Structure 1
Amino acid sequence: MKRSLSAFIYSQWKTVPPVATADLTGQTVIVVGANVGLGFESAKHFAKMNPARLILACRSEEKGKAAVEKIREETGYTPELELLDLAKFSSVVAFADRFLKNKDARLDILMANAAVATDQHKETSDGWEESLQVNDLSTSLLSLLLAPRMVETGEKFKTKPRLVVVCSEVHYWTTLKDEVFESESAFRTISSKEYGKMDARYLDTKLLNVFFTRSLADLLAETPVIANCVNPGYCYSSLRRTMQGFRQVVDWAMERALARTSEEGGRQLTYAAVGSPQDPDKLRGQYISLHCVEEPSDYVLGSEGKKRQDILWNDLIAVLSGVDPRVREIVENFSH
């Protein structure tokens, strides 16, 4: 499938369906990047569904505490706060370890939402381009480390836990250069300052989210866990706060003409996590937009798309296994 500019504009003007709801009594939900924007709005929706635990995973303690208090004031539900900085692998591992320490802790919904968008090349302390690490490497690391607990939850309680990766329709508008797939490490190539233009880096990271979700869904195909990715659409967001100059002016104009509210975007995330209760498996491995399953970019489909997907997956697992050896063990345990 290809996505034209006119199709994008038309979709932005469509009415967003009402928020999907479910009874989350006894269940545990983690929302990454929950202190602002889409993550905050989806967390607020979850809070109204009476989960046993709602964990806001935030980088800033100050902003996280403010989000906890605001959700409490608006819904009467008090979520928990846990610190998580996706720009640091050590923070991701520490977050996962804290959660997994309680062997009885169940995990029913993981909303992998946090992302950054920047047109400046900046390396993290781990030596990766920032948006690639936050949007892809750390998001994937967290998902893989927590996936076994989600499988255990599904098997124990006879449920279908959901692992939702927040992607974007911008993935339709980019492709990766051949050198990515011909190099020794696909992710090192993409991370390099010499690769492509930073203007397209956010688009690339969202394309990688789609590839990852499809691979993860394949890995978990024989388990109760349903992995999918969701497009919230173009929304008012702090995501683009680092934009400057002409791009900032263009985005300002686009927001006023086309943007959905953060609450409307949050509805989309919520649907991916609790929607289609009669047939949850129809969302397995799917790209979801406006509460519907849609075909992703042609670039990820067919035999050529599968070849690209496998190269990226193998390199991702090699990279992440170097961060935490459990990643390799988890993949081998669920491979079939």
Structure 2
Amino acid sequence: MSQEFNIQPHFGTALGTFLRSQYFRTPAYPTHSFANQTVIVTGSNGGLGFEAARHFYRLNCAKLILAVRTVSKGETAKEDIVRSVQHRTDGFEAIEVWPLDLTSTQSTLSFAERVKSELPRVDVVVENAGINNTAWQVVEGFEQVIQVNVINTLLLALCLLPKLTETRFKYPDSIPHLEIVSSEVHHYTKFPEVNAPDLYEELNDESAFNGMDRYNVSKLIEVLFVRELVDRMKATSPEPPVVITLVNPGLCRSNLDRSMNVVAQWLLYGFRLIAGRSTEVGSRTLVYGACTGPESHGEFMSDGQNQNVEPWIYTETGNKAQRKVFEQTMRVLDERRFRDSKADWGVALGSY
């Protein structure tokens, strides 16, 4: 494969930033009010999503949607949140559990359509659901980590963007936020797949699969896609109707590694015990990403503050890679949205 993109990450710099964040910075306990707002959190029956959902309810959001793969687990999470927030008594009405399976395009599109038809407003969407699987597995013709972390995560984002935009104009008190939960691991990949003529054909080639790098690649693709999306939106709308953020919660003691083999799970479990945060502390970053100002539109946030992405992304190589990732991803997403004629994001995106 020719090396059009010779990506050389700065591993030492990234590691230093990671260690300073994990050991010397703790995001403050959130106090921002979400009164009157409707908040959606994906992957919210456990871990980071669950703790973030608890914060949103504690901070008085009017409606909280727990978007989960297994409804029974979502109902258990709902009961826990209601019990733990003492100053509210409306939890069973204010919190709803909706099914969402990001391995399924139909589930993703159905969820988006339900949001548009049943919710009068949507102020915050936190796309937290994701997987880290080092074993090869294909779903709907795509490797599973890419299917979940990239394709259907971004499909859902674009399908909900018009509803968020509509909320901005219908409710002047609202500055809607679309948040993609990303990761610092985007710093740690050379992203060899981007050198292939067809990025997704290469990502779907089992012989080229690197299970230890795939999660890193998926998070880098999120970063590149969102940055390019925001650049193109700024060209037509300098004042964003929706603030789109990339949020890094840091290394947390979560169950993200549950799909990995037993040996890898134990190794990562030990590392998370030594260097990881609690999911409650990590979830604070998700809350900050949902109420930040327009200065964070298209930015990568850590510990509640904007942070630089990997340095090569700011170069001409980065610009070219960003455009390629965006254009080839949009081809996949366009094909999927046409499965449902109601999945129209043209108004929100303009001409991309």
Structure 2 letter corresponding to 1:261: S
2:260 to 243, 249, 268: 243
Deviation track 1:191-248 (CA, whole Å, cap 9, x = no partner) reads: 3212241111001011111112212323443231010101100000111123335423
The aligned runs of 1:320-331 (5 Å cut-off) are: 320-325=333-338, 330=346
Q: Closer, same or farther in 2 for the Cα pair 1:180/1:61, shift >3 Å?
A: same
State the one-letter code of the partner of 1:330. G
- Aligned partners of 2:162 and 2:348 also within 8 Å: no
The answer to whether the aligner puts 1:168 opposite 2:178 as a matched pair is no
The counterpart of 2:330, out of the listed 313, 317, 333, is 317
Q: Give 2:312's aligned residue.
A: 299
- The answer to whether the Cα contact below 8 Å between 2:126 and 2:179 also exists between their aligned partners in 1 is yes
Match of 1:99 in 2: 115
**79-88 or 243-252, which deviates more:** 243-252
Name which of 148, 154, 176 aligns with 1:134. 148
Give the letter aligned to residue 31 of structure 2: T
| SS of corresponding position for 1:240 | helix
2:196 touches 2:202 (CA, 8 Å); kept in 1? no
Structure 1 residue 162: deviation in Å?
A: 0.6
Query: What letter matches 1:167 in structure 2?
Result: S
What's the CA shift string for 1:45-70, capped at 9, x where partnerless?
00012122110000001111111111
Per the normalisation by structure 2, the TM-score is: 0.88
Q: CA RMSD in A?
A: 1.9
What is the distance in 1 between the residues matched to 2:206 and 2:106? 23
Shift of 1:22: 2.4
CA distance in 1, matches of 2:227, 2:170: 25
Pairing of 1:217-228 with structure 2 (within 5 A): 217-221=230-234, 222=237, 223-228=240-245
Contact 2:136–2:209 (CA under 8 A) maintained in structure 1: no
User: For residue 335 of structure 2, what is the amino acid of its counterpart?
Assistant: G
Match of 2:286 in 1: 269
- Counterpart contact for 2:131–2:259, Cα < 8 Å: no
Give the CA deviation at 1:332: 8.3
- Which letter does structure 1 place at the counterpart of 2:313? V
Task: Quote the residue 1:52 is aligned against.
Answer: 62
Which residue among 139, 150, 158 is the counterpart of 1:144?
A: 158
Q: Deviations over 1:131-156 (max 9, x none)?
A: 11110100000000000111111122
Match of 2:44 in 1: 34
8 A contact 1:217–1:226 mirrored in 2:
no
- Structure 1: any 5+ residue segments left out of the alignment? none
CA distance in 1, matches of 2:251, 2:183: 8
What's the secondary structure of 2:201's corresponding residue?
Answer: helix
Match of 1:286 in 2: 299
Q: Whole-Å Cα distance in 1 between the matches of residues 120 and 233 of structure 2?
A: 20
Residues 136, 208 of structure 1: 8 Å contact kept: yes
Describe the SS at the equivalent of 2:98. Answer: strand
Q: Assess if the C-alpha contact under 8 Å between 2:134 and 2:211 holds in 1.
A: yes
| Structure-2 change in CA distance of 1:7 and 1:127 (3 Å) | same
Runs of 4 or more, structure 1, over 4 Å off, are 326-329
Identify the residue that residue 6 of structure 2 maps to in structure 1. none
In the alignment, does 2:114 pair up with 1:89? no
| Superposed displacement of residue 107, structure 1 | 0.9
Aligned length: 328
CA contact (8 A) 2:41 2:128 kept: yes
| Aligned residue in 2 for 1:112 | 127
The 1:129–1:284 alpha-carbon spacing in structure 2 relative to 1, beyond 3 Å, is same
* Structure 2 contact 164–242 (Cα < 8 Å) conserved: yes
- SS of the equivalent of 1:18 reads coil
Are 1:167 and 1:231, in contact at CA under 8 Å, matched by a contact in 2? yes
Is 1:156 the equivalent of 2:170? yes
User: What is the distance in 1 between the residues matched to 2:226 and 2:150?
Assistant: 11
Q: Give TM-score, length-normalised by structure 1.
A: 0.92
Report the 3-state secondary structure (helix = DSSP H, G, I; strand = E; otherwise coil) of the residue aligned with 1:106. Answer: coil
Find the counterpart in structure 1 of residue 4 from structure 2: none
Q: Partners of 2:125 and 2:141 in 1: how far apart?
A: 27
The one-letter code sitting in structure 1 at the alignment partner of 2:21 is: S
